[in-house]
Amino acid sequence: MSSRRFVVLDPDGTAPGWLYVIVEAQTGVFYQQQYGGTACRQGQLEGFLVPVAGADALDALRDLFEKDFRGAGTWNYSWPDDERDRLGRIVVGISYWACNGQTEEPHDLRLDDSRMREVDEAWVPVLTPDGPGVLVWFNSD
């Protein structure tokens, strides 16, 4: 029996508004996500799933990707400084609660500028206190 497990996030597209970070780690669990708006790309990342809070940030992400980019995806997009800065400000507004086993503390997420070519609707590379990850939410298509 394989020790690998695959979890599809919101496979039927009916879950209400959600926002998670998949933190990259060797866990044997692979999270799969449809992203990229109407481009319907399929992403997969091994790690662990962390729910994050940020209703205003989720609204801002949806405005950016669904309205400004018209839900068509941004994969391999050359982000101008002002748009990258806007996305970075949105991401920083999301609280990531890290716990050392005894104490929980909120931390701001940070946009992973080294992976900007991977940024797309519902798939944004971020840095967390637990390592690199990807910010995901329900895709608009």
CB contact at 8 A, 50 and 23:
yes
Q: Which residues pair with 35 in a beta bridge?
A: 41
Residue 45, SS3?
strand
Instruction: Dig out the tokens for 141 from the structure.
Output: 């298509």
Q: In the predicted model, what is the mean pLDDT of the chain?
A: 92
More confident of the two residues 36 and 30: 30
Q: Where are the domains of the chain?
A: 5-137
Nearest-angstrom CA–CA distance, 121 and 133 = 15
pLDDT digits 0-9 by tens, 100-112:
889 999 999 999 9
- Say if residue 80's pLDDT is above 80: yes
**Residue type at position 90:** I
Q: Among 44-48, 67-71, 134-138, which is the least confidently predicted range?
A: 67-71
